[in-house]
Amino acid sequence: MTLLTSPFTLVALGLAVVAAVPVAARWLRVAQREHYVPTWVSRMAGLWLTREPLTLLGAAVAALLVVVAAIGIVSTGADSLLALAALAAVVLLALLPFGLKPRGTSAKFVLTDRVKRLLVAWILVHLVAALALAAVLGAAGPALVLLLSAPLTDLALAITAPIEKAGSKRFVDQARKRLDQVKPRVVAITGSYGKTSTKNYVAHLLSATYTTVASPASFNNRLGLSRAVNDKLVPGTEIFVAEMGIFGAGEIRELSTHFPPDIAAITVIGEAHLQRMRSTDVIFRAKAEITERARTVVLPIDDERLARLAEECTAAGKRVVTVSLRPGADADVVLDATGADDAASTGAATIRIGRDAAPTPVTISSTGHAVNIAVAAGIALAADVPVATIAGRLSDLPGSQHRAEVQQAPSGALVIDDTYNSNPVGAHRALEGAARLAAERGGDLVVVTPGMVELGPVQAERNRAFGAAIKAAGATLYAVGRTNRAALLEGYGAGAHAVDSREAAVAEAVRAAADRGVILYENDLPDHYP
Condensed to tens digits (0 to 9), the pLDDT of residues 463-511 reads 999 999 999 999 999 999 999 999 999 999 999 999 999 899 999 999 9
CATH architecture of 169-396: 3-Layer(aba) Sandwich (3.40)
Is 199 in contact with 247 (CB distance < 8 Å)? no
Residue 401 neighbours by CB distance under 10 Å: 11
Q: How much is the pLDDT for 368? A: 57
Name the DSSP class of 398: P
CA–CA distance, 468 with 5 (Å, rounded to integer): 60
**Domain(s) of CATH 3.40.1190.10: residues in the chain:** 169-396
| Stated pTM of the model | 0.86
Q: How much is the pLDDT for 347? A: 52
**Domain(s) of CATH 3.90.190.20: residues in the chain:** 405-522
Instruction: Select from 156, 153, 1, 19 the least CA-distant residue to 86.
Output: 19
Q: How much is the pLDDT for 404? A: 72
Is 30 in contact with 48 (CB distance < 8 Å)? no
Burial call 489-523: b when 16+ CB within 10 Å, e when fewer: bebbeeebbebeebeebbebbbebbeeebbbbbbb
CATH, range 405-522: 3.90.190.20
Is 314 in contact with 320 (CB distance < 8 Å)? yes
Q: How much is the pLDDT for 29? A: 96
What is the residue type of 9? T
Q: What is the pLDDT along the chain (530 residues), one digit of tens a residue?
A: 588 888 899 999 999 999 999 999 999 999 999 989 999 999 999 999 999 999 999 999 999 999 999 998 888 766 677 889 999 999 999 999 999 998 887 777 788 999 999 999 999 999 999 999 999 999 999 999 999 999 999 999 999 999 999 999 999 999 999 999 999 999 999 998 889 889 999 999 999 999 999 998 778 899 999 999 999 999 999 999 999 988 778 899 999 999 999 999 999 998 877 777 778 899 999 999 999 999 999 999 999 999 999 999 999 999 999 999 999 999 999 999 875 544 333 457 899 999 988 898 887 765 557 899 999 999 999 999 999 999 999 888 886 665 678 888 888 999 999 888 778 988 998 999 899 999 999 999 999 999 999 898 899 999 999 999 999 999 999 999 999 999 999 999 999 999 999 899 999 999 999 999 999 999 999 999 99
Q: How much is the pLDDT for 395? A: 81
Condensed to tens digits (0 to 9), the pLDDT of residues 60-82 reads 999 999 999 999 888 876 667 78
Is 528 in contact with 35 (CB distance < 8 Å)? no
Q: How much is the pLDDT for 270? A: 87
CA–CA distance, 266 with 1 (Å, rounded to integer): 66
H runs (alpha helix) in 343-453:
370-382, 387-393, 424-441
Residue 39 neighbours by CB distance under 10 Å: 13
Is 515 in contact with 411 (CB distance < 8 Å)? yes
Is 268 in contact with 192 (CB distance < 8 Å)? yes
Is 36 exposed, middle or buried (CB count within 10 Å of its CB: 0-12, 13-18, 19+)? middle
